[in-house]
Amino acid sequence: MNRFEISQTVGDIVTREPGLSRVFESLGIDYCCGGKMALGDACQRRSLDPQVVLSKLEDESNRSAAMPPPFDPAAMSLTTLADHIERTHHVFVKTEIPRLREMAAKVASVHGDRDARLATVRDTFDGLAAEMTSHMMKEERILFPLIRQLEGGAGGDGSCGHSISAPIRQMESEHEQAGEALSALNGLTGGYTPPEWACNTYRAFLDGLQHFERDLHEHIHKENNVLFPRALSREALRN
């Protein structure tokens, strides 16, 4: 019997078994911003046979069971998870943005005549970079400190009085916009596939963009499907 059901949400599946994000990445199923969607609906959206997807999940789950336990954000405290997101994903985004922006500009200026999509790729990435910079600043300065205070971390006593639901809604809406920009970049670059004539910078740029997309999916999943719902439950218990 299959352990997975088409009625489960894709976010829940990845929260329970983080290694299954590989299956969703490979099939183009959005498990972060689209994490609240049932697996059956996500398959329909991508025109995928749900039975094939269920057996891929089963296979990957069996394969991961034979490996050392993966990193599990669901087992962390809210404070540890917020710290982890800042130290890994936020640092990664901040490090990659200047490098990728420079490569995007270079590739568009050198090869833009041959491939008109490169100017759109550059502009889309610049827009995403600006949005992510301001988004992460809001998380680091406003939302994450409130979340830490909920469990009395970082000098808080768990009674700061500010509700986290409005800032969480705002962050989720910004995640949707970032997800749309990523899927536009994925589409514009044919799934980050370089043309035969691409130079090394062009290839390195697409490889960097693909890593950026994977990391951002994982990052948004940890916030939308693990940190935010757990913080909201904690707040509901407090009230």
Residues that bind Fe ion (CB under 5 A): 139, 223
Q: By C-beta, is 139 or 151 nearer to Fe ion?
A: 139
Determine contact, residues 99/208, Cβ cutoff 8 Å: yes
Q: By C-beta, is 81 or 104 nearer to Fe ion?
A: 81
CB of 18 to Fe ion, least distance (A): 17
First-to-last C-alpha distance (Å) of the chain: 42
**What is d(CA 70, CA 233) in angstroms, rounded to the nearest whole number?**
25
Q: By C-beta, is 107 or 171 nearer to Fe ion?
A: 171
CB of 103 to Fe ion, least distance (A): 23
CB of 228 to Fe ion, least distance (A): 9
CB of 143 to Fe ion, least distance (A): 8
CB of 217 to Fe ion, least distance (A): 12
C-alpha distances in angstroms, 215 versus 42, 70, 113? 21, 16, 31
CB of 113 to Fe ion, least distance (A): 37
Six token digits for residue 58: 């089963």
**What is d(CA 24, CA 8) in angstroms, rounded to the nearest whole number?**
14
Is the alpha carbon torsion for 152, 156, 159, 160 positive or negative?
negative
6, 5, 7, 9: which is closest to 229 by C-alpha? 9
**What is d(CA 196, CA 89) in angstroms, rounded to the nearest whole number?**
32
Q: By C-beta, is 57 or 85 nearer to Fe ion?
A: 85
Q: By C-beta, is 60 or 139 nearer to Fe ion?
A: 139
**What is d(CA 108, CA 189) in angstroms, rounded to the nearest whole number?**
13
Q: By C-beta, is 153 or 194 nearer to Fe ion?
A: 153
